[in-house]
């Protein structure tokens, strides 16, 4: 750049002086005595000149304290500065994108003291490209080690979860501003947002009004095409920063004043020189900010961290993985994630860092799984095949291929015994998960063991018990009580008994079921959390099934497993269709079976997105359906603030509907603040047809099966994710009657419109989930419920290829070194430990 010329001339005297001091320092063995009182005094004095000479690409270093460096580091530092200050240009110098080896000097540093260093790594391949922090300080040092970080700033950084220098290095920009798309001054269009890269011609402080009044900075900046005026109102200090000849990027809207182009209060960025975290790069990082932290501040800090501390990071990825995956080295990746050369470099950096996240996540999952399952002896279940085959013949329908496949996957896990099964059975609402679970439970019973199925609500437990009864209705059944079912399966010499146990079961029933469970004469127990309460033991428990897994915490799941004497197999059922990428991420510790096929003859729920003014049409439609004997759900808008506000809103909606719109119909209300008993009562009333319309907050998602309900009206539909809307829709269309889903939204953004029209068009849950994911990203996919979801900063949930690569590599690594004990895996092991720490902090 033309502007660099004068700089070089003016600072050449300085450079010579510095060079001399460095030479002296070298001959003294780096004892900090080359100048009286130590080098630091000079460094402080010369910070501007030094900064002007530090160009990202050449990795010049701006140290705050020479005194605090170890001798080894001093040497590296001096050598680099000497090179930088006009030692003859090294024709072999590699671009900065070489692998960094924190403890190694450049091959050029052939000084006696360097021999020791040189032996640490073969001198052939790598050069020191990134500065190593002082040996005694690690990147895990608190962030206040950085220059200019005081207690106030420390507190602010903490809000961004930045406590150590490592955290700061891993605080990646949300995006980059691309100054390469800057326009020439002649091409500026007044009134349009744009960026200009130019040189400061002159800048001065201007007084406005009387003495003591406002003082502005006015500058004239120019590029080869012309010049323009920039004014910063009330910012007189800026005048001193804008030194003539310095390069500046200015963004804003230009206006025309007296025939001249003017920028008023534009965003500005110095493009070279100064230690203030500025950049020669064309892509300027934009960081997440918090109260009291400016963009400029953040850049100053990350710049400092990247320049001075990057070398303290250790690339944990073994060579062979790097080679196979063709990812770039970690230090380059972190560097380029902050201050990329261009967008391609940034994408390479992102890939590498995303891989790290996914790889670490997979390792953590596999480790957890190993802890829970490997070497844990499971129960080998050998069920007589003819019993189950006979059961299939009595079913009122043929199983779908997907159901058969899932049953086989489960059976094969259970036959294998060790390790115990840990499997997720996913399939959307109505795909027929119950019969898959039942078949597995019957196998367990036929093999002489016990099984249990836990569901989140009493109504659901009752529903499961009833549908199990229906599925078994083709069999002779000597006993059928409200809480106990006994059936004879062909080829079995004894009856199989199934009990229902919930919080509201009568004491006598509870006692009897508990006794039969304990003495082993009860084969299958269906129930709510009551199952895991004290006093219930299921000694021969071999299979624990949990339905609607997201409603149960991991702890409840394991509490259920502990009911038995041995380690039971577990099957978790989820009706939320989760794209494979996401399930691998979240349920990496589970195997997955998917029912991806609906039973034949299912009708599609007609779905329509209504405009706000069509609200009354929607009400009329509900009324018509009720007159035909059907029932309807009305889902109230999602309220982010709190369950209390949400419940209040639902209550108001309920009052409005029952008083003004449907005074003659019977309505029920369901919301999160109601006591569980009350909720159960309302759900029961709706199921039994005592209510025409159920007004509900999104809790209805828990899923009651009401064949007679044909209308699902969702208010504020734009506020829900597709997956959730699809779940709601699945609540209707479960019987013989044609069903409808009406989506209402008062104001819908473009993406919301896209979502709603996707829902009207697509009826396959998995396909919708993929679309949802693309539109919303993973964080929102589950909403706040999935709070244990570790935060992935660089990985996109759509990085399917990366994810599978990470999973493969993690599996391979664990096979080879299951405890990550090998010395070369120490860094990975530490990375996994940090991840687990963070994840558990998130859950807590
Ligand atoms: P979900 O996966 O939502 O739990 P269910 O197991 O409740 O689904 O099944 C929904 C309905 O479909 C039930 O009435 C069940 O009897 C029926 N069903 C299950 N499998 C089949 C099949 N293969 N063919 C026809 N109907 C089926
Ligand atoms: Mg179900």
Distance CA 150, CA 157 (A): 10
Longest dimension (CA), the chain: 106
C-alpha distances out from residue 638 to 81, 463, 472, 510, Å: 60, 27, 39, 38
The answer to whether the CB of 329 is under 6 A from ligand 1 is no
Question: What confidence category does residue 790 fall into, taking pLDDT thresholds of 50, 70 and 90?
Answer: low
Handedness of CA 571, 575, 576, 579 (dihedral sign): positive
C-alpha distances out from residue 94 to 90, 100, 308, Å: 9, 12, 20
The answer to whether the CB of 735 is under 6 A from ligand 1 is no
The answer to whether the CB of 706 is under 6 A from ligand 1 is no
Instruction: Considering every ligand atom shown, identify the ligand nearest to the alpha carbon of residue 730 and give its number.
Output: 1
- Closest atom of ligand 1 to 399 CA is 23
76-115: pLDDT as tens digits: 788 778 777 765 333 333 333 333 333 333 333 333 333 3
Pick the most confident of 408-422, 456-470, 777-791, 794-808: 408-422
Q: Say which range, 331-335, 699-703, 835-839, has the weakest mean pLDDT.
A: 699-703
C-alpha distances out from residue 287 to 160, 542, 842, Å: 10, 52, 22
Cα-to-centroid distance, 116 and ligand 1 (Å): 72
What per-residue confidence (pLDDT) applies to 12?
64
| Tokens coding 50 | 């030094």
What per-residue confidence (pLDDT) applies to 116?
37
Prior bond to 419 cis, omega within 30?
Answer: yes
Q: Which residue has the higher pLDDT, 411 or 551?
A: 411
Distance CA 225, CA 248 (A): 15
The answer to whether the CB of 577 is under 6 A from ligand 1 is no
Does the structure show a pLDDT above 90 at 463?
A: no
Strand, helix or coil for residue 7: helix
The answer to whether the CB of 427 is under 6 A from ligand 1 is yes
- Report yes or no: 353 and 337 within 8 Å, Cβ to Cβ: yes
**Tokens 């390469």 appear where?**
180
Mean pLDDT of 773-779: 59
Backbone phi and psi for residue 477, each to the nearest 5 degrees, phi listed first: -140, 95
Distance CA 823, CA 431 (A): 49
Distance CA 750, CA 771 (A): 15
- Report yes or no: 166 and 139 within 8 Å, Cβ to Cβ: yes
- Report yes or no: 272 and 245 within 8 Å, Cβ to Cβ: no
Mean pLDDT of 761-786: 63
Distance CA 465, CA 509 (A): 15
Task: Please provide the DSSP assignment of 329-389 as one string.
Answer: PHHHHHHHHHS-SSHHHHHHHHHHHHHHHHHHHHHHHHHHHHHHHTT--B------HHHHH
Cα-to-centroid distance, 652 and ligand 2 (Å): 31
- Strand pairing report for 479-481 and 484-487: antiparallel
DSSP 665: S
C-alpha distances out from residue 733 to 604, 631, 634, Å: 7, 11, 15
Does the structure show a pLDDT above 90 at 299?
A: no
What per-residue confidence (pLDDT) applies to 53?
66
Strand, helix or coil for residue 809: helix
Cα-to-centroid distance, 624 and ligand 2 (Å): 29
42-79: pLDDT as tens digits: 676 676 677 666 543 344 466 667 887 777 778 878 87
Nearest CA to ligand 1 atom 9: 432
Q: Which residue has the higher pLDDT, 96 or 11?
A: 11
Nearest CA to ligand 1 atom 23: 399
The answer to whether the CB of 133 is under 6 A from ligand 1 is no
The answer to whether the CB of 472 is under 6 A from ligand 1 is no
**Tokens 């501040």 appear where?**
297
- Report yes or no: 634 and 695 within 8 Å, Cβ to Cβ: yes
Distance CA 694, CA 822 (A): 60
Mean pLDDT of 418-445: 91
Does the structure show a pLDDT above 60 at 312?
A: yes
Pocket test for ligand 1, best of 406, 432, 433 (most atoms within 8 A of CB): 432
Pick the most confident of 24-28, 631-635, 823-827: 631-635
What per-residue confidence (pLDDT) applies to 731?
85
- Closest atom of ligand 1 to 470 CA is 16
Question: What confidence category does residue 123 fall into, taking pLDDT thresholds of 50, 70 and 90?
Answer: very low
What per-residue confidence (pLDDT) applies to 10?
45
Mean pLDDT of 802-812: 90
| Tokens coding 160 | 């961004």
What per-residue confidence (pLDDT) applies to 238?
83
**Tokens 């290095």 appear where?**
169
Does the structure show a pLDDT above 80 at 610?
A: yes
Distance CA 721, CA 783 (A): 8
Instruction: Considering every ligand atom shown, identify the ligand nearest to the alpha carbon of residue 602 and give its number.
Output: 1
Q: Starting at the edge strand that comes first in sequence, how are the strands of the sheet with 606-610 ordered? A: 606-610, 740-744, 709-714, 631-635, 693-696, 667-670
Beta strands in 245-282 (DSSP E): 247-257, 260-264, 267-270
Cα-to-centroid distance, 15 and ligand 2 (Å): 76
Question: What confidence category does residue 276 fall into, taking pLDDT thresholds of 50, 70 and 90?
Answer: very low
Nearest CA to ligand 1 atom 10: 430
The answer to whether the CB of 245 is under 6 A from ligand 1 is no
The answer to whether the CB of 440 is under 6 A from ligand 1 is no
Pick the most confident of 34-38, 598-602, 734-738: 734-738
Distance CA 246, CA 271 (A): 8
The answer to whether the CB of 469 is under 6 A from ligand 1 is no
Pick the most confident of 434-438, 454-458, 527-531: 434-438
- Report yes or no: 773 and 795 within 8 Å, Cβ to Cβ: no
Cα-to-centroid distance, 468 and ligand 2 (Å): 11
Given its phi and psi angles, is residue 273 left (phi above 0), alpha (psi -120 to 50 degrees) or beta? Answer: left
- Closest atom of ligand 1 to 730 CA is 3
Mean pLDDT of 471-488: 86
Question: What confidence category does residue 286 fall into, taking pLDDT thresholds of 50, 70 and 90?
Answer: confident
What per-residue confidence (pLDDT) applies to 350?
93
Question: What confidence category does residue 392 fall into, taking pLDDT thresholds of 50, 70 and 90?
Answer: very high
Cα-to-centroid distance, 471 and ligand 1 (Å): 9
From the list 365, 332, 364, 373, the residue with the least C-alpha distance to 349 is 332
Does the structure show a pLDDT above 60 at 7?
A: no
Output the CA torsion 505→508→513→514 (10° steps). 100
Beta strands in 740-786 (DSSP E): 740-744
Checking 660-667 for CB contacts under 8 A at 24+ apart, the result is 661/619, 662/619, 662/622, 662/623, 662/626, 662/692, 662/693, 665/623, 665/626, 665/692, 665/693, 666/690, 666/691, 666/692, 666/693, 667/691, 667/692, 667/693, 667/694, 667/695
Question: What confidence category does residue 637 fall into, taking pLDDT thresholds of 50, 70 and 90?
Answer: confident
Pocket test for ligand 1, best of 405, 430, 462, 735 (most atoms within 8 A of CB): 430
Does the structure show a pLDDT above 50 at 694?
A: yes
154-212: pLDDT as tens digits: 999 998 889 999 999 999 987 787 766 678 888 888 877 778 888 898 899 888 766 66
Distance CA 766, CA 754 (A): 17
What per-residue confidence (pLDDT) applies to 581?
63
What per-residue confidence (pLDDT) applies to 1?
39
Q: Say which range, 32-36, 192-196, 502-506, has the weakest mean pLDDT.
A: 32-36
What per-residue confidence (pLDDT) applies to 569?
92
What per-residue confidence (pLDDT) applies to 291?
73
Instruction: Considering every ligand atom shown, identify the ligand nearest to the alpha carbon of residue 727 and give its number.
Output: 1
- Report yes or no: 782 and 549 within 8 Å, Cβ to Cβ: no
Output the CA torsion 682→683→687→689 (10° steps). 20
Task: Please provide the DSSP assignment of 108-145 as one string.
Answer: T---GGGHHHHTTS-TTT----SPPPPTT--TTSBGGG
- Closest atom of ligand 1 to 431 CA is 2
Q: Which residue has the higher pLDDT, 553 or 819?
A: 819
Look up the pTM and report it.
0.59
What per-residue confidence (pLDDT) applies to 6?
40
Nearest CA to ligand 1 atom 17: 432
The answer to whether the CB of 788 is under 6 A from ligand 1 is no
Rounded (5°) CA angle 587-592-593: 150
The answer to whether the CB of 731 is under 6 A from ligand 1 is no
Please report how the helices 750-761 and 765-776 are oriented relative to each other, as an axis angle in degrees rounded to 10. Answer: 170
355-374: pLDDT as tens digits: 998 899 888 888 877 776 66
Q: Report the Cα–Cα distance between both ends of the chain, in Å, rounded.
A: 53
Does the structure show a pLDDT above 80 at 151?
A: yes
Rounded (5°) CA angle 311-313-319: 100
Mean pLDDT of 273-284: 46
What per-residue confidence (pLDDT) applies to 662?
96
Distance CA 398, CA 422 (A): 27
Question: What confidence category does residue 275 fall into, taking pLDDT thresholds of 50, 70 and 90?
Answer: very low
Q: Which H or E run includes 414?
A: helix 401-416
Distance CA 9, CA 743 (A): 70
Distance CA 796, CA 819 (A): 28
Q: Say which range, 24-33, 383-392, 608-617, 663-672, has the weakest mean pLDDT.
A: 24-33
- Report yes or no: 402 and 597 within 8 Å, Cβ to Cβ: yes
Kindly give, in sequence order, each residue whose CB lies less than 8 Å from that of residue 665, ignoring residues fewer than 6 positions away: 623, 626, 658, 692, 693
The answer to whether the CB of 594 is under 6 A from ligand 1 is no
Q: Which H or E run includes 177?
A: strand 175-178
Kindly give, in sequence order, each residue whose CB lies less than 8 Å from that of residue 530, ignoring residues fewer than 6 positions away: 501, 502, 503, 505, 510, 536
The answer to whether the CB of 358 is under 6 A from ligand 1 is no
Cα-to-centroid distance, 598 and ligand 1 (Å): 8
The answer to whether the CB of 392 is under 6 A from ligand 1 is no
Does the structure show a pLDDT above 80 at 514?
A: yes
């Amino acid at each position: 750049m033309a502007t660099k010329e004068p700089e070089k001339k003016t600072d050449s005297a300085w450079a010579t002086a510095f060079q001399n001091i460095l030479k002296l320092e070298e001959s003294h063995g780096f004892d900090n005595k080359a100048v009286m009182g130590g080098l630091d005094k000079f460094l402080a004095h010369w910070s501007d000149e030094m900064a002007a000479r530090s160009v990202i690409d050449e990795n010049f270093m701006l140290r705050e304290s020479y005194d605090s460096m170890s001798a080894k580091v001093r040497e590296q530092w001096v050598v680099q500065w000497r090179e930088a200050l006009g030692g003859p240009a090294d024709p072999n110098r590699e671009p900065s994108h070489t692998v960094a080896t924190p403890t190694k000097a450049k091959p050029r540093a052939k000084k006696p003291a360097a021999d020791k260093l040189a032996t640490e790594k073969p001198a052939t391949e790598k050069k020191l490209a990134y500065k190593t922090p002082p040996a005694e300080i690690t990147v895990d040092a608190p962030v206040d080690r950085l220059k200019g970080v005081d207690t106030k700033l420390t507190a602010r950084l903490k809000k961004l979860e930045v406590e150590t220098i490592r955290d700061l290095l891993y605080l990646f920009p949300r995006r980059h501003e691309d100054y390469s798309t800057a326009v020439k001054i002649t091409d500026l269009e007044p009134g349009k947002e744009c960026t200009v890269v130019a040189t400061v011609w002159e800048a001065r402080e201007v007084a406005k009004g009387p003495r003591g009044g406002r003082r502005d900075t006015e500058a004239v900046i120019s590029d080869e095409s012309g010049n323009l005026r920039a004014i910063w109102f009330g910012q007189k200090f800026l005048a001193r920063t804008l030194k003539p000849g310095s390069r500046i990027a200015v963004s804003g809207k230009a206006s025309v004043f007296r025939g001249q182009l003017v920028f008023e209060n534009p965003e500005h960025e110095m493009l070279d020189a100064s230690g203030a975290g500025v950049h020669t790069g064309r892509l300027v990082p934009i960081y997440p900010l918090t109260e009291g932290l400016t963009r400029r501040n953040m850049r100053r800090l990350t710049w400092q961290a990247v320049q001075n501390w990057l070398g303290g990071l250790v690339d944990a990825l073994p060579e062979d993985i790097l080679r196979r995956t063709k990812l770039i080295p970690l230090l380059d990746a972190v560097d380029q994630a902050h201050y990329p050369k261009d967008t391609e470099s940034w994408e390479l950096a992102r890939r590498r860092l995303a891989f790290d996240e996914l790889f670490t996540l997979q390792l953590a999952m596999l480790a957890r799984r190993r802890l829970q399952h490997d070497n844990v002896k499971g129960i080998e279940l050998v069920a007589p095949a003819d019993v189950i085959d006979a059961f299939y013949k009595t079913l009122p329908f043929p199983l779908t291929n997907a159901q058969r496949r899932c049953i086989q996957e489960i059976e094969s896990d259970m036959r294998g015994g060790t390790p115990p099964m840990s499997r997720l059975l996913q399939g959307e609402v109505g795909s027929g998960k119950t019969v898959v679970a039942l078949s597995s439970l019957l196998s367990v019973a036929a093999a002489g063991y016990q099984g249990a199925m836990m569901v989140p609500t009493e109504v659901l437990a009752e529903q499961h018990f009833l549908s199990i009864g229906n599925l078994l209705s083709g069999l002779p059944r000597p006993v059928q009580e409200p809480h106990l079912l006994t059936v004879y399966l062909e080829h079995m010499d004894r009856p199989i008994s199934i009990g229902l146990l919930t919080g509201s079961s009568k004491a006598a029933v509870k006692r009897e079921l508990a006794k039969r469970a304990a003495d082993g004469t009860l084969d299958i127990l269906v129930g709510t959390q009551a199952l895991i309460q004290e006093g219930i033991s299921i000694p021969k428990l071999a299979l624990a099934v949990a339905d609607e897994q997201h409603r149960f915490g991991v702890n409840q799941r394991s509490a259920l497993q502990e009911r038995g004497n041995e380690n039971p197999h577990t099957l978790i059922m989820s009706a939320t269709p989760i794209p494979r990428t996401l399930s691998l991420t979240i349920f990496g510790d589970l195997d997955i079976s998917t029912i991806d096929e609906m039973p034949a003859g299912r009708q599609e729920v007609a779905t329509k997105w209504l405009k706000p003014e069509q609200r009354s049409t929607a009400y009329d439609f509900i009324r018509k359906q009720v007159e035909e004997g059907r029932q309807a759900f009305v889902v109230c808008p999602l309220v982010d603030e709190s369950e209390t506000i949400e419940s209040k809103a639902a209550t108001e909606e309920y009052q409005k509907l029952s008083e003004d719109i449907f005074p003659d119909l019977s309505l029920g209300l369901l919301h999160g603040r109601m006591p569980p008993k009350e909720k159960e009562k309302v759900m029961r009333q709706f199921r039994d047809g005592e209510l025409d319309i159920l007004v509900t907050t999104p809790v209805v998602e828990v899923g009651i099966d009401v064949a007679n309900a044909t209308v699902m009206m969702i208010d504020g539909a734009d506020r829900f994710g597709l997956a959730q809307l699809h779940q709601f829709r699945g609540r209707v269309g479960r019987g013989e009657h044609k069903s409808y889903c009406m989506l209402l939204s008062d104001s819908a953004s473009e993406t919301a419109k896209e979502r709603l029209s996707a829902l009207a068009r697509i009826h396959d849950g998995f396909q919708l989930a993929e679309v949802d994911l693309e539109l919303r990203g993973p964080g929102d996919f589950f909403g706040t419920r999935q709070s244990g979801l570790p935060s992935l900063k660089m990985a996109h949930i759509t990085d399917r290829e990366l994810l599978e690569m990470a999973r493969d590599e993690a599996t391979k690594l664990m096979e080879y070194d299951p405890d990550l004990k090998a010395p070369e895996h120490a860094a990975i092991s530490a990375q996994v430990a940090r991840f687990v720490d963070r994840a558990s902090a998130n859950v807590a």
